């Protein structure tokens, strides 16, 4: 940056010098005369002497006054001056110096070359780093000094096992002699694997913050350019810089951009990406060791990485940074809630229990959305209501208040969602019903949300059957209430999900007694991810027919079960649909009242919700819906 400023200052000085040298020099004290006045003064004998400098005439009157005028091309001027006794002096034309001549001749060309060099440096990334104009092979890794990294393990929550795995590296960087005297060697690298948003990059920064060592960070895509050999050169340059600052940490984010399996695809294998990978393999564990350099990489696609990259001596350890459990979610929420003012009614534990499957980034987004909701309503603190509303938005989608449905379509949606809820509530091992809404959210006209009471890592056959039954509950309710001819397309996604579940139960999970515990699904690997084109698992035509029959039997059995449940509880279906038409959204407490055929209580936090459809909260509060005897809209 400083070199660029100096370059432009020099160019400005040269241009100013050129302009000043060619600008006419004059004395401001000379009085200007018109040429006609000058000729009249000459003929009257008032001019004593003149000095002619091309077209500029300076002179002196008989009285001693100085004057200046501009002379056109007048051939009689000298004759008039001599005839009137005026002393004439002539200034010879000034010859520019050799340096000035060179500047005039080559100055524009030099200026163009300087501008071209400047823009080339900017395009190639060398200008910002202060490197040469052709610095393609220089590493783009950004180094953070010890005092620039403020993140520590205290800022990382929800991944205790992953932190324990990497604490050894921190201890080695702080006190390497403790391990070396026993002959121990610290792992050369650690590969962090996990879904997006689980905190892999944050954990790497915390390692550098705890160890107080230089931290080089780069993305996998920064290695590869359009020019052949640039990626390998950048890898070499990055490790050369790291050696100068050892002990240090190199963090490569999204390493699958350069670490994909070699020889994949339909073309040849000697491409730019593979050359970059080969150089990375050599630098990590080749003929020359890189002592004191720990390479940490992150990816959410470990299945596509080259096997040579994962062997001991390169990435010795694979640290899994998975989705947090309920305790981890509570810890993450506590970290983020410290940054916002919270009211006394906030119970982080309940929010953590109601957000299974959320990553750390999702939980950070939840707290931010709650703060935005509170600010929108001019609150000074974030309340539990704001957190619940933010959670509903992230799980079910944003409410579409501007979308207006007709009464018939709204009524059909109410029965559809009520059918889902009733079947899900009565089948065994199904997740509890969390909330039912006919408020349009995202791309859905209505939502029935089921949330597990605790973290689940596997599912039984009984639970999968129950999920299929509840998925068909909405379509069955429409058919029973409005007739076969009036069944809508609202169950398209339900049918797709139920069919996929049944197919997986038969072909992947071995849950069909007729076909047994065999995998019948075809390989789904992509060609360019290290999978061959011809590796497809096929099944016989007779077996394929049997698979279709088994899938159909799974669907039919659960469809009939769901139909029987709704027919037995048709009064609850009417009552729940009426409650949805009235409140638009009902929670688990209201659903418990409906299933027990009790009067329905008001929704939690109803008075905080702005009135819709012309109803006031107090008016709706006075009405009670009795299970089995509800009014139908």
β-pairing verdict for 56-61 and 47-53: antiparallel
Under a CB-based contact definition with an 8 Å cutoff, are residues 203 and 159 in contact? yes
Rounded CA-CA distance 617/104 in Å is 85
Where in the chain are the domains? 142-320, 326-396, 407-622
Catalytic residue numbers, as ranges: 417
Q: Give the pair of three-digit tokens for residue 255.
A: 């390493």
Q: Is the pLDDT of residue 221 over 50?
A: yes
473 against 52, higher pLDDT: 473
Instruction: Give dist(CA 542, CA 540) in Å, integer.
Output: 5
- How many other CB atoms are there within 10 angstroms of residue 168's CB atom? 15
The number of beta carbons lying within 10 Å of the beta carbon of residue 184 is 11
Residue 266 has a CB neighbour count (10 Å cut-off) of 7
Task: Classify domain 326-396 at the CATH topology level.
Answer: Helicase, Ruva Protein; domain 3 (1.10.8)
Q: How confident is the model at residue 121 (pLDDT cuts 50, 70, 90)?
A: low
Q: Please give the mean pLDDT across all residues of the chain.
A: 78
Residues found in the chain: 633
Which pair of tokens denotes residue 276? 């970059």
Mean pLDDT computed over 158-173: 81
**More confident of the two residues 176 and 20:** 176
- pLDDT band per the 50, 70, 90 thresholds, residue 613: very low
CA dihedral 78, 79, 81, 83 (to 10 degrees): 160
The mean pLDDT of 463-474, rounded to a whole number, is 94
pLDDT tier at 29 (50, 70, 90 boundaries)? Answer: very low
The pLDDT of residue 583 is above 90: no
Any idea which of 4-8, 24-28, 57-61, 162-166 has the lowest mean pLDDT?
24-28
Provide the pLDDT for residue 458: 85
Residue 73 backbone class (left: φ over 0; alpha: ψ -120 to 50; beta: rest) = beta
Side-chain-facing half-sphere of 227: CA atoms under 13 Å = 11
pLDDT score at 573: 93
Is residue 145 pLDDT above 70, yes or no? no
Radius of gyration of the chain (CA): 41
Residues forming a β-bridge with 218 = 252
362-400 per-position pLDDT tens digit: 999 999 999 999 999 999 999 998 998 898 888 877 777
- Give the position of tokens 């559809």: 416
Lowest mean pLDDT of 97-101, 513-517, 625-629, name the range.
625-629
Tell me the three state secondary structure of residue 250.
strand
DSSP 400-463: -TT----HHHHHHHHHHHHHHHHHHHHSTTPPPEEEEE-S-BTTBS-EEEE--SS--S---HHH
| Window from 43-52, 184-193, 455-464, 521-530 with minimum mean pLDDT | 521-530
Which of the four CATH numbers 2.40.50.140, 1.20.58.760, 1.10.1030.10, 1.20.1250.20 does domain 407-622 have? Answer: 1.20.58.760
Q: Under a CB-based contact definition with an 8 Å cutoff, are residues 48 and 89 in contact? A: no
Q: Considering all CA atoms of the chain, what is the largest pairwise distance in Å, rounded to the nearest integer? A: 134
pTM to 2 decimals? 0.66
Q: Are 144 and 249 in contact (CB under 8 A)?
A: no
Structure tokens at 160: 């205790």
Task: Report the share of the chain in percent with pLDDT over 70.
Answer: 78
User: Distance (Å, rounded) from C-alpha 83 to C-alpha 131?
Assistant: 72
Q: Which two tokens stand for residue 305?
A: 């990485």
Which tens digit of pLDDT belongs to each residue from 227-259? 556 778 888 888 888 888 878 888 888 888 888
- At 333-363, the pLDDT tens digits run 998 998 899 888 888 888 888 888 888 899 9
In angstroms, the CA 538 to CA 527 distance is 17
Dig out the tokens for 496 from the structure. Answer: 């797709």
More confident residue, 504 or 6: 504
* pLDDT over 70 (residue 226): no
What is the predicted pLDDT for the residue at 566?
93
> What integer pLDDT is reported at residue 536 of this predicted model?
54
Assign 214 a pLDDT band (cuts: 50, 70, 90): confident
Question: One fold for both 142-320 and 326-396?
Answer: no
The distance of Cα 333 from the centroid of its chain, to the nearest Å, equals 21
Pairing of the two strands 189-193 and 317-320: parallel
How crowded is residue 463: how many other Cβ atoms within 10 Å of its Cβ?
Answer: 15
Give the C-alpha separation, 203 to 197, whole Å: 12
| Distances 365 to 326, 333, 401 between C-alpha atoms, Å | 17, 10, 22
Mean pLDDT along residues 10-24: 63
Looking at residue 527, what is its pLDDT?
A: 45
- Cα(331)–Cα(352) distance, integer angstroms: 9
Question: Do the strands 317-320 and 433-437 form a parallel or antiparallel pair, or are they unpaired?
Answer: unpaired
Distance (Å, whole) CA 189 – CA 170: 12
| 554 half-sphere exposure, CB direction, 13 A CA radius | 30
Per-residue pLDDT, 372: 93
Q: What is the pLDDT of residue 448?
A: 87
| Residue 157, pLDDT score | 83
Q: What is the pLDDT of residue 134?
A: 46
Look at residue 303 and tell me whether its pLDDT is greater than 50.
yes
CA distance 273 to 307: 16
What dihedral do alpha carbons 36, 39, 45, 46 form, nearest 10°? 50
Whether 20 shows a pLDDT value over 70: the answer reads no
Q: Is there a contact between 87 and 50 (Cβ–Cβ < 8 Å)?
A: yes
Which of 133-137, 142-146, 492-496 has the least mean pLDDT?
133-137
Q: Which of 545, 497, 499 is nearest to 520 (CA)?
A: 545
Q: Report, as an integer, the average pLDDT of 594-599.
A: 88
Region of residue 326 (phi > 0: left; psi between -120 and 50: alpha; otherwise: beta):
alpha
Burial of 222 (0-12, 13-18, 19+ CB in 10 A): buried
Identify the architecture of domain 142-320 in CATH. 3-Layer(aba) Sandwich (3.40)
């Amino acid at each position: 940056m400083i070199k660029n400023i100096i370059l432009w200052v020099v160019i400005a000085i040269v241009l100013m010098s050129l302009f000043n040298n060619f600008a006419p020099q004059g004395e401001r004290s000379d009085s200007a005369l018109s040429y006609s006045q000058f000729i009249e003064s000459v003929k009257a004998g008032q001019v004593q002497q003149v000095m002619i400098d091309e077209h500029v005439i300076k002179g002196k009157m008989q009285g001693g006054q100085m004057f200046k005028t501009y002379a056109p091309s007048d051939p009689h001027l000298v004759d008039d001056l001599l005839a009137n006794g005026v002393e004439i002096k002539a200034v010879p034309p000034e010859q520019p110096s050799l340096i000035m001549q060179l500047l005039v001749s080559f100055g524009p060309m030099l200026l163009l070359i300087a501008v071209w060099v400047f823009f080339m440096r900017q395009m190639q990334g060398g200008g910002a780093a202060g490197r040469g104009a052709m610095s393609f092979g220089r590493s783009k890794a950004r180094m953070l000094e010890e005092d620039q990294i403020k993140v520590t393990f205290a800022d990382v929550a929800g991944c205790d096992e992953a932190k324990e795995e990497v604490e050894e590296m921190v201890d080695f960087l702080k006190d390497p002699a403790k391990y070396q005297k026993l002959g121990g060697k610290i792992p050369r690298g650690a590969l962090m694997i996990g879904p997006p948003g689980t905190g892999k990059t944050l954990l790497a920064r915390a390692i550098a913050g705890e160890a107080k060592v230089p931290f080089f960070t780069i993305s996998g895509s920064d290695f590869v350019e359009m020019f052949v050999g640039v990626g390998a050169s950048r890898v070499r340059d990055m490790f050369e810089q790291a050696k100068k600052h050892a002990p240090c940490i190199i963090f490569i984010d999204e390493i699958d951009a350069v670490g994909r399996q070699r020889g994949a695809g339909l073309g040849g294998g000697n491409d730019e990406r593979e050359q970059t990978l080969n150089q990375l393999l050599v630098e990590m564990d080749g003929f020359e060791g890189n002592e004191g350099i720990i390479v940490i990489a992150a990816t959410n696609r470990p299945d596509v990485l080259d096997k040579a990259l994962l062997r001991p001596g390169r990435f010795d350890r694979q640290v899994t940074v998975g989705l947090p459990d309920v305790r981890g979610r509570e810890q993450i929420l506590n970290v983020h809630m410290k940054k916002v003012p919270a009211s006394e009614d906030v119970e982080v534990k309940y929010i953590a229990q109601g957000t299974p499957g959320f990553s750390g980034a999702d939980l950070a987004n939840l707290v931010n959305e709650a703060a935005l909701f509170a600010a929108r309503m001019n609150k000074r603190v974030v309340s539990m209501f704001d957190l619940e509303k933010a959670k509903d938005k992230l799980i079910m989608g944003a409410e579409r208040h501007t979308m207006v449905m007709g009464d018939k379509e709204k009524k059909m949606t109410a029965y559809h969602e009520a059918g889902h809820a009733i079947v899900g509530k009565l089948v065994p091992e199904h997740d509890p019903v969390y909330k039912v809404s006919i408020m349009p959210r995202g791309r859905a006209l209505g939502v029935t949300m089921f949330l597990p009471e605790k973290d689940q890592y596997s599912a039984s056959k009984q639970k999968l059957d129950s999920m299929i039954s509840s998925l068909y509950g909405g379509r069955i309710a429409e058919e029973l209430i409005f007739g076969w001819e009036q069944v809508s397309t609202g169950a398209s996604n339900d049918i797709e999900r139920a069919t996929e579940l049944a197919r997986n139960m038969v072909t992947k999970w071995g849950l069909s007694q007729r076909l047994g515990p065999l995998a019948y699904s075809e390989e789904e690997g992509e060609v360019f991810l290290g999978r061959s084109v011809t590796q497809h698992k096929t099944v016989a035509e007779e077996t394929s027919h049997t698979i279709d029959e088994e899938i159909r039997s799974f669907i039919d059995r659960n469809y009939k079960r769901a139909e029987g449940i709704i027919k037995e509880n048709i009064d609850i279906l009417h009552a729940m649909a009426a409650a949805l038409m009235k409140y638009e959204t009902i929670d688990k407490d209201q659903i418990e009242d409906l299933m027990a055929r009790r009067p329905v209580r008001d929704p939690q936090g109803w008075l905080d919700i702005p009135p819709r459809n012309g109803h006031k909260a107090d008016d709706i509060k006075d009405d009670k819906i009795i299970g089995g005897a509800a009014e139908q809209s």
